Structure formats: C-alpha cells, structure tokens
Amino acid sequence: MKRRDKESLEFDELASYNVNRKDIQWFPGHMMKTLRIMEKEVKNVDVVIILLDARIPYSSMNPEIEKRIGNKPRIYIMNKRDLADPRITDKWIQYFKKKGMGAIAIDSKNGRNTKLIQNRISRELSDLMRRRQSRGIENMTVKAMMVGIPNVGKSTFINSLAGTQRAKAQDRPGVTRGKQWVTVGNLDLLDMPGVLWPKFENQNIASNLAFIGSIKDDVLDIETLAVSLIDEIKKIYPELLKERYKLSEDDLEADNYDILCNICRKRGMLLPGGVENTERCAIMLCDEFRASKMGRISLERPEDYE
C-alpha cells in the first residue's frame, strides 16, 4: 500500500482494508473441516479445554467453537499470561467467575502449570467422577478436547503438560495439522488444529487477532497492521510506546503513519536516498509487540464487555 493511499484513509477504514477484503483468506477450507470434526468429536469427550490468549481473551474466544460444544463442561485457560498485563488478567479471571464460567491464566512456556490444570479439570468434572465411582467404574481416565485459535499455544501447552516434546510447536497459523490424541497421566487429550471463524463480529476482533499473529501476516498488509497497532497502543499504553521507541509526547501527537516513519528513522531503517523503509519497520514493530518487547500489554479489558 502506498503512503498516499494510506493517508487518505481513516483508522477504521485502514483496519477494514486489512481484513474485510474479499481476496483475503484467513478462513481456509481446512478450518471448516476442523469445525465439523469438532462437532462430531465433542460427543465423545468429558470436557472441552478452550485455550485463549491472555492478551485478548474476548477476541480469542471463537464463537463457532462455542456453538459447537453446546453444554459440554468447559475450562477456559488464558495462555501467554507472561505477555499480558497482570492487573488486567486478574480482572479477566473475575469476569469469567462472575459469568459462572471460571478460568485460569497460565504461561505454557515455563511449564509449571500441570498441577493447577489437573486440579481445575478435577473440580470441573467432580460430579461426573463421583457418578462414575458410584457405578464402580474403575477407569477414571478423563477425555478432553483441546481447542483454540491458531498460534494460541496448543502445542506448547500439551508439551508442558506432558513434560516432553509430544507435538511440534510452530508459529505458522493456518497450517493444517490433523487431530491427534495425546495421553497425559489420566488425561486423554484430543488436540485439534487451530481454527478461526468466517465472519468477525467487529473490526476490533479482526485487528486483535492479526496483532497477536493468529491471522497470517502474509494475507495482510503489514504496514497497515503496524499503523493500527500504533494507534491501539498509543491509546492504552502510551508510556510503553514512548519508552521503547524513544518518542516524545509531541511525537505521539502525530498521525500514526508518521509515527511509524519516525520509528523508522530512529532505528535507522532507511532505503537508499534516505526514504523510510516502512515495511521493514512494520515487521519489526509487530514482532516486538508479539515478543512483548514493549512490555506486558493487554489489548482488551473486561469492563468493555460487561
């Protein structure tokens, strides 16, 4: 996208440009297939473990998955808590509790959550386990289906539970990976490939999913995405943006695209002739956000969804 085109668009239009174009395909055919398999398999499990991203718990809740799991007991696990603002994550836990849903927040990468998760599953399924015991059923294996959006950390989560590299963790959202069963202690886990949904309820959700990398970057315009990200962080964590990129209060007053150009100059990302290399800078900015280089950022607050 050329600079002049960008300047003629307002932020909302920029965001729409990103994900509402007909030629952008963030919902490939295999995702629809996965949703169908989920609908079938949910009948065979005791509980569904729904992995959310702690930075965007609302946007990472897939309505198509919710629809398909019906009344099955479910556990919400907010993964990547190490990347999210801890104050906001605590508020999200309260939010879920108030809605009678219950959730926990974990960091799968450090792999010390096994007991917490097993206790949560036992609590969720206590009635079922009691019923099984009273009927003399010896086999107390719990069957769980694990679902979530691409890149939410399902493979890492399973590896941390299993204490070994069972499934290959990869940062390639949308890559087809068939369903597979993994046994961890008395838990039989059905790992499903990550899925999105065909129509986003609003533009914020689409942008949030793109910011964290669940929509593949190569179907988006990376500069537009970075400009949207600057807009968002400027609103909710201006100090972090200023600190990371050595920006002044006045710098933040500028148009978001100009802020991107400013960051380019500060990082020496220039093309021959001194023109800002905005594409390279945009990739760097998105990568740094995803790796939490600016600090721990939560893009959604529960009070906006009360």
Enumerate binding residues for ligand G4P (CB under 6 A): 79-80, 82-83, 107-109, 148, 150-156, 169-171, 194
CA distance linking residue 182 with residue 159, whole number of Å:
10
- The residue (of 278 and 298) whose beta carbon lies closer to ligand G4P is 298
CB 180, CB 191: distance < 8 Å: yes
Q: How far is the CB of 81 from ligand G4P (least distance, A)?
A: 7
d(CA 223, CA 260): 9
Question: Would you say the C-alpha torsion 209, 213, 218, 224 has a positive or negative sign?
Answer: positive
Q: Smaller CB distance to ligand G4P: residue 79 or 203?
A: 79
Q: Measured from the CB of residue 163, what is the shortest distance to ligand G4P in angstroms?
A: 15
Least distance in Å: CB of 171 to ligand G4P? 3
Return the number of the residue (258 or 288) whose C-beta is nearest ligand G4P: 288
Pick the closer one to ligand G4P by CB: 9 or 169: 169
Angle at 232 between CA 264 and CA 302, to 5 degrees: 150
As measured in angstroms, the least distance from the Cβ of 42 to ligand G4P is 19
User: Minimum CB separation from ligand G4P for residue 51, in Å?
Assistant: 7
Contacts of 66 (CB under 8 A, 6+ apart): none
Buried b (16+ CB within 10 A) or exposed e, 2-11: eeeebeebeb
Query: Minimal distance in Å, beta carbon 254 to ligand G4P?
Result: 31
Distance CA 273, CA 36 (A): 53
Assign 180 to helix, strand or coil. Answer: strand
Residue closer to ligand G4P by CB (options 212, 259) is: 212
* DSSP H or E segment with residue 105: strand 103-105
Closest residue by beta carbon to ligand G4P: 171
Which is closer to ligand G4P, CB of 108 or CB of 204? 108
